[in-house]
Amino acid sequence: MRFIDEALITVKAGDGGAGCVSFRREKYVPKGGPDGGNGGAGGDIIFVADARLSSLLDFRYRREHVAESGHNGIGSLCTGKDGEDMMIKVPAGTLIKDSDTAEVLADMVTVGQRYLCCKAGRGGKGNAHFATSTHQTPRFAQPGEPGAARALHLELKLLADVGIIGFPNAGKSTLISHVSAAKPKVADYPFTTLVPNLGVVKFGSFGGFVIADMPGLVEGAHEGKGLGVKFLKHIERTRIFIHLLDLSPFTNRDPLEDWKLVNRELTAFNPELARRPQVVALNKIDITEAKERAPELLKWFAKRDIKVFAISAATGNGLTELVNYVGEVVEKSKLANAAEAQGR
């Protein structure tokens, strides 16, 4: 599994270079005076959200990041070279937290977004800076300031508009493979999906929406059981959920109990998630027994004003109606966000 969504790293900005103690020495200039230059500033630590990255895998192998220090000053009033800034690229959707306090320092949600994490140390002044009419030959200079350092916890939360939720083997991976170009691994055993899969569905004026197939939920997921919060944290940014229910008679599961249990897990993890728009998709109606059971469940959800569709992720039956409805909800949400941004 190559998808890494958490990392602990340390970062340190570059130290400033030391100022120089030097005196001008030229023929026929016996008392040239101090000419020690200043030290250069160190490099800053800057995080950048990069669209080409999709996980925090690189940080598993490199945990320490130190920017270049400034060079020391030299004689003839020459200032040392500044250290280069260190640009650390992270996937869009990365939360940068302080490891010690858990404070959120930055939420890198926009591609190209930058965050200055650690400020570099300033270079020290050379002895020429301290020359005065009463102290014409200072024999000291400033050392450079140390760069700031931090221990950080990076956490990736996927930037998806739509999250597909449900029990393991409900058909989430099959669904996303039919409505988008994503090709997730599909098999008939629990937790086939070990990592979230992203796909883009073409729809509407915004060029489409991003849909995420999430690892299946089990009871106690909010406490870390099954894939636990490894699943739940990735749905916090979604605008709407497709709650997939398995109507297959071979699982010996009750779809209504599964629906209630998953919603309890959402509430326990984050009450706001339970209030997120949600559409129910009754899956596997290509099976005769499931098709016969669907009308009863359609009525049950309709009585509770819950939008519901009967579909077959395997054959594509009912997917057009489902995608159109979800796409319209996403479009309205994006338009509302755009209007709100203009109002500011």
What distance in Å separates the CA atoms of residue 61 and residue 180, rounded to the nearest whole number? 32
As annotated, the residues of the chain forming the CATH 3.40.50.300 domain(s) are 162-343
Q: How many other β-carbons are positioned within 10 Å of the β-carbon of residue 25? A: 10
CATH of domain 162-343: 3.40.50.300
The reported pTM is 0.71
As annotated, the residues of the chain forming the CATH 2.70.210.12 domain(s) are 6-156
On whether the CB atoms of residues 96 and 48 are closer than 8 A, the answer is: no
CA distances from 187 to 96, 192, 197, 215, 281 (A): 35, 6, 15, 13, 20
6-156 placed in CATH 2.70.210.12: yes
H, E, C per residue of the chain: CCCCCEEEEEEECCCCCCCCCCECCECCECCCCECCCCCCCCCCEEEEEECCCCCCCHHHHCCEEECCCCCCCECCCECCCCCCCEEEEEECCEEEEECCCCCEEEEECCCCCEEEEECCCCCCCCHHHHCCCCCCCCCCCCCCCCCCEEEEEEEECCCCCEEEECCCCCCHHHHHHHHCCCCCCCCCCCCCCCCCEEEEECCCCCCCEEEEECCCCCCCHHHCCCCHHHHHHHHCCCCEEEEEEECCCCCCCCHHHHHHHHHHHHHHHCHHHHCCCEEEEEECCCCHHHHHHHHHHHHHHHHCCCCEEECCCCCCCCHHHHHHHHHHHHHHHHHHHHHHHHHC
**Exposed e or buried b per residue across 257-293, where buried means at least 16 C-beta atoms within 10 angstroms of its C-beta:** ebbebbbebbeebeeebbeeebbbbbbbbebeebbeb
* Torsion angle (degrees, nearest 10) of CA 155, 156, 159, 164: -100
Q: pLDDT 10s digit of each residue in the chain, 344 long?
A: 445 678 999 999 999 999 999 998 888 877 788 999 999 999 999 999 998 887 888 898 899 999 999 999 999 999 999 999 999 999 888 999 999 999 999 999 888 999 999 999 999 999 999 999 889 899 999 999 999 999 999 988 877 889 888 887 778 888 888 887 655 554 444 444 456 777 888 776 666 788 887 765 555 444 444 444 556 777 778 889 999 999 988 888 899 998 998 888 888 888 888 888 999 999 999 999 999 999 999 999 999 999 999 999 889 999 999 999 999 998 888 888 777 767 65
What distance in Å separates the CA atoms of residue 2 and residue 100, rounded to the nearest whole number? 27
Query: How confident is the model at residue 230, as a pLDDT?
Result: 57
Query: How confident is the model at residue 243, as a pLDDT?
Result: 93
Cα 30 to chain centroid distance, Å, stands at: 63
Query: How confident is the model at residue 217, as a pLDDT?
Result: 57
Query: How confident is the model at residue 208, as a pLDDT?
Result: 77
Query: How confident is the model at residue 224, as a pLDDT?
Result: 47
